[in-house]
Amino acid sequence: MNLGSIHFRLTLYHGSLVAVTLVIFALASYLSFRRHLISTLEAQCASQTNQIAQSLLVGLPASGIAYVQDEIQEHYAPEANNLFIRILSSKGTTLYESGNPRDHSFTPPQLGFLPTLDKPKADLDPREHKLIFIRPYPLSNGDSYQIQIAASLLPVEGSLDGLWKVGMLLLPLALSASVLGGFFLSKRSLERIREVVATARRINSSNLQERLIENQTGDEIQDLTRTLNQMFERLEASFTLMTRFTADASHELRTPLTVIRGNLELLLHQGKALPHKPSSEVSEILSQTLEETERLSQIVGQLMELAQLDSGEVKLEREVFNLTELVAGAVDQLQLLADDKQIQLHTELASPIAFKGDRYRVKQVLLNLIDNSIKYCPAGSQVCIRLFSNSRAAVLEVSDNGPGLETDSLRHVFDRFYRVEKARSRELGGSGLGLAICKSICEAHDGRIEVESRPGEGSTFRVLLPLKDPAPASRLCGISTLPAH
């Protein structure tokens, strides 16, 4: 999963919020339950001391100390109930003191009479696991007594320990369930955004008329979809105007350039036949002007071709042909040019590959790629042309061991009018449009073109053409496997 994606961040935020909420809720529940248990125990101690005071101590002068001791032992049974009870007099005497608790869960407190105590008091002793409750009780005859009762905290701590274990078991489960639920809910919520992104990625210069499906949900995704559709409408209008302008300008420039070129050729031809031939300087100027005019005519023609490809005016003449034979023919066509530059052409061609497409346009791509390798490689270099296929596409690779391309150039090599070495490209007649045309032709065949290169190690241009409806090999009669050259 992409850690920077909205999906991951939503899941992280949701999980963190739920975790903090569960921890706070668990701690609050634990502390509340602890307070409730201690308050209950304290209330029981207060009730018992009050009963002793109201039912036994109030009649102490008449009933006597022995009666009070017997009644406490009989009705409250401190040792059996794991309690400790002590009754102290303000005179320093002990009216009653029970024995140690039967379960030995705590040691009896060693407290004397507290003369400053005027109201009931409860103290916790967590280290001794006990609660101590003291109730003062004055009699009408002026005597004052304090009833001390101690109770074990082990039952309370046992209940809290059980609650803690249950919480430690349920909290991870609840958190995991919440995170998984948040993961799938956020994934489902973002599914529409993924659909919008996928559709937007499919829209390019060849299908700008397509639009995103706008669901009437009234939410932010609908606003995003509507905004993207409006942007595509503006892009389509701008692209149409640009394409129309390029096509119209190229068309209008072709006639004047043709006239200029013809006049220059006529001047050069007639100048040679005149009795007084023009000077060599004039002839050189005319030749250079004619050369530049021819280059400009080539650029205008390529611009018009690109505009037609962009606008969809060029209809591909799709037919089934032998792609292997086409590649071999393109290599043979450029063999003389390679020999002139002392560049070796090497081919590795697969058995006949049936491809359905525009034979002329595919050959145009092949000639352009091979011609570029021949132009920009120094003498003694080698250009390798490979053709093979897999289950989905025919793959053509044109590799060389020339100077290669810089990383920055790789990002722009298919841009229009981009030239790696402008001075050298101009010297070799390059216009910066050839690879852009190759890209448009490949995309018109639903294919793609890509490049791999390292400075000083050469470049590899790779064309992938999908084999959508290949013809059986029997239809390619008369074509045999071509060996490597």
Query: Domain span at residue 54?
Result: 6-159
For the domain that residue 92 is a member of, what is the CATH number?
3.30.450
Question: In terms of domains, do 339 and 437 share one?
Answer: yes
At residue 287, does pLDDT exceed 90? no
Question: Is a pLDDT exceeding 50 seen at residue 327?
Answer: yes
Pair 215, 191: CB distance under 8 Å = no
- Whether residue 457 is contained in a domain is answered as yes
Query: Can you give the pLDDT at residue 484?
Result: 42
pLDDT in tens, 206-218: 677 788 888 787 7
Work out the percent of the chain whose per-residue pLDDT is above 70.
85
Rounded distance, CA 272 to CA 150, Å?
133
The tens digit of pLDDT for each residue in 352-372 reads 888 898 898 899 899 989 998
The better pLDDT of the pair 416, 148 is held by 148
Mean pLDDT, range 57-85, rounded to an integer: 89
C-alpha 261 chain-centroid distance:
57
Q: Please check whether residues 307 and 328 belong to one and the same domain.
A: no
On the question of pLDDT at 274 being above 60, the answer is no
* Residues 91 and 230 occupy one common structural domain: no
- 428 and 279 assigned to the same domain: no
Residue 213 in any domain: the answer is no
Between CA 401 and CA 470 the distance in angstroms is 33
3-class secondary-structure state, position 433: coil
Instruction: Say if 166 falls within a structural domain.
Output: no
pLDDT digits (tens, 9 = 90+) for 235-273: 877 777 776 766 666 666 777 777 877 877 777 777 665
Which residue has tokens 């009762």?
A: 149
The residue-averaged pLDDT of 408-421 equals 76
pLDDT at position 273: 56
pLDDT over 60 (residue 482): no
Q: Which of 60-64, 108-112, 113-117 has the lowest mean pLDDT?
A: 60-64
Tell me: do 332 and 461 sit in the same domain: yes
* 326, 453: one domain: yes
CA 400 to chain centre: 37
Q: What is the pLDDT of residues 83-107, one digit of tens each?
A: 999 999 988 889 999 999 988 888 8
- Distance CA(34)–CA(31), nearest Å, equals 5
Looking at the fold, whether 249 and 266 belong to one and the same domain comes out as yes
Residue 482, token pair as written in the block: 């071509």
How many domains is the chain partitioned into structurally?
A: 3
Query: What radius of gyration, in Å, describes the C-alpha atoms of the chain?
Result: 49
The stretch 318-342 carries a mean pLDDT of 90
pLDDT digits (tens, 9 = 90+) for 124-134: 988 888 999 99
Q: Could you tell me the pLDDT band of residue 161, with boundaries at 50, 70 and 90? A: very high
Edge-to-edge strand ranges of the sheet holding 344-349: 344-349, 382-389, 393-400, 458-466, 448-454
Say which CATH number the domain at 287 has: 1.10.287.130
174 domain residue, yes or no: no
Residues 304 and 327 in one domain: no
The residue among 459, 463, 460 whose CA lies nearest residue 405 is: 459
Residues 238 and 95 in one domain: no
Residue 35 has pLDDT above 90, yes or no: yes
379 and 260, same structural domain? no
Does 264 fall in a domain?
yes
Write the single-letter amino acid at 394.
Answer: A
Tell which of 144, 159, 174 closes a domain. Answer: 159
The pLDDT value recorded for residue 423 is: 44
**pLDDT at site 438:** 87
pLDDT of residue 385: 92
Residues 239, 240, 246, 248, Cα dihedral to 10°: -170
Chain centre to alpha carbon of residue 222: 22
End-of-domain residue from the set 286, 311, 336: 311
Residue 277 has pLDDT above 70, yes or no: no
Domain with residue 459: its CATH number is 3.30.565.10
For residue 191, is it within any domain? no
CA dihedral (45, 46, 47, 53) positive or negative: positive
Residue 1 resides in a domain: no
- Lookup result for tokens 């000639």: 367
Distance from chain centroid for Cα 55: 77
The verdict on residue 54 lying in a domain is yes
Average pLDDT over residues 33-51: 93
Q: Which of 159, 177, 192 is the endpoint of a domain? A: 159
Quick one: 48 and 120 in the same domain?
yes
Structure tokens at 55: 């039912």
pLDDT over threshold 90, residue 282: no
Rounded to whole angstroms, the Cα distance separating 330 from 351 reads 17
Same domain as 410, residue 279:
no
Over residues 9-35, the mean pLDDT reads 89
b (16+ CB within 10 A) / e for 259-293: eebeebeebbeeeeeeeeebeeeeeeebeeebeeb
Say if residue 143's pLDDT is above 70.
yes
